[in-house]
């Protein structure tokens, strides 16, 4: 079960992959389908990572985390 970590909501754009970078900010990178896209930071909220969790952008647009089984 995932738990919401972030308070800032992000609107998804088609053709981009979203991930939480090592710096604690949400980043977007273009997929292979999106040839003209550029990598960029999304939002201003900084999130502190904890070991053993996977961080992602959920369906509602908030940063969430889920406990990894083998970590």
| Mean of pLDDT over the chain | 94
Number of residues written out for the chain: 71
Q: What is the pLDDT averaged over residues 14-31?
A: 95
Q: What is the pLDDT averaged over residues 18-47?
A: 95
Q: What is the pLDDT averaged over residues 56-68?
A: 95
Q: Give residue 70's pLDDT band: very low, low, confident or very high (50, 70, 90).
A: confident
* Three-class DSSP category at 13: coil
Tell me the whole-structure pTM to 2 decimals: 0.86
Which pLDDT score, from 0 to 100, does residue 1 have? 85
Q: Which residues pair with 42 in a beta bridge?
A: 26
The dihedral through the CA atoms of 4, 58, 29, 53 has a sign that is positive
Q: Which pairing describes strands 3-4 and 63-67: parallel, antiparallel, or unpaired?
A: antiparallel
Backbone φ/ψ region at 70: left (φ over 0), alpha (ψ -120 to 50), beta = alpha
């Amino acid at each position: 079960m995932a738990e919401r970590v972030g308070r800032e909501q992000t609107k998804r754009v088609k053709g981009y992959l979203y991930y939480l970078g090592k710096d604690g900010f949400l980043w977007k990178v273009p997929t292979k389908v999106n040839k003209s896209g550029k990598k960029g930071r999304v939002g201003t909220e900084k999130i502190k990572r904890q070991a053993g969790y996977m961080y992602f952008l959920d369906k509602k647009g908030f940063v969430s985390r889920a406990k990894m089984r083998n970590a």
